[in-house]
Amino acid sequence: MLEEVGTVVELRGKQVALVLCQKSSACGHCASMEVCHIGDDSRARTVEAFNTLDARIGDRVRIVTSTKNFLQSSFVLYIVPLLALLLGAVLGLLVGEKMPEGPDPNLLSAIIGVAFLVGSFLTIRVGSRAIAKETFMPRIHSILNEDEVYPEELKNGH
């Protein structure tokens, strides 16, 4: 589980809370980075979290996302486009070699490879809209007492 501690700053409907967290090193590869919004100071960010515990504005909460979701989204965002680029490049090279009077096979390989790469990003973008937002959204795991201080908060300067 990947965990963060933050403060609820806004409620969006009955099941979604906006949580203000300090940016950590895991943010760049987080499975939920689509619902994160970096703050003005580039250290704080707001995260939409599934609010099953009925946390209220001002509550300190611990939000979690599963490692499985993190790995799945990382695979889709990094490995799938890379595979599409390689597949397009190989197909372009094979087609270019079969056309004796056609364009340079290496040029065709590069063009088709980049086209497959762009196509994979567009497919991921459109396909991700079909997935329920709550599937990869972090969840509020617990509401913390005001006197609870955790080591990760001390590192972030709280």
Kindly report, residue by residue over 87-121, the tens digit of the pLDDT: 999 999 999 999 988 889 999 999 999 999 999 99
**150 pLDDT band (50/70/90 cuts)?**
low
**Assigned token pair, 39:** 């703050």
**Average per-residue pLDDT for the chain:** 82
pLDDT tens-digit readout, 10-57: 998 888 889 998 766 555 555 555 555 555 555 678 888 888 888 888
What per-residue string of b and e applies to 40-51 under the rule 16 or more CB within 10 Å gives b?
Answer: eeeebbbbbbbb
Kindly list the distances between the CA atom of residue 56 and the CA atoms of 32, 97, 141, 150, in Å, as whole numbers in the listed order. 21, 64, 14, 21
> For position 146, what pLDDT does the model report?
67
Of 158, 105, 151, 133, nearest to 47 by C-alpha is 133
pLDDT in tens, 55-65: 888 889 998 88
Q: Hunting for tokens 């203000």 — which residue is that? A: 20
**CB neighbours of residue 34 within 10 Å:** 13
158 — pLDDT class (breaks 50, 70, 90): very low
Residue 115 DSSP symbol: H
Q: Which residue has the higher pLDDT, 138 or 122?
A: 122
CA 22, 28, 33: angle at the middle one, nearest 5?
80
What tokens appear for 70 in the block?
């993190």
Give 151's Cβ-side CA count (13 Å radius).
0
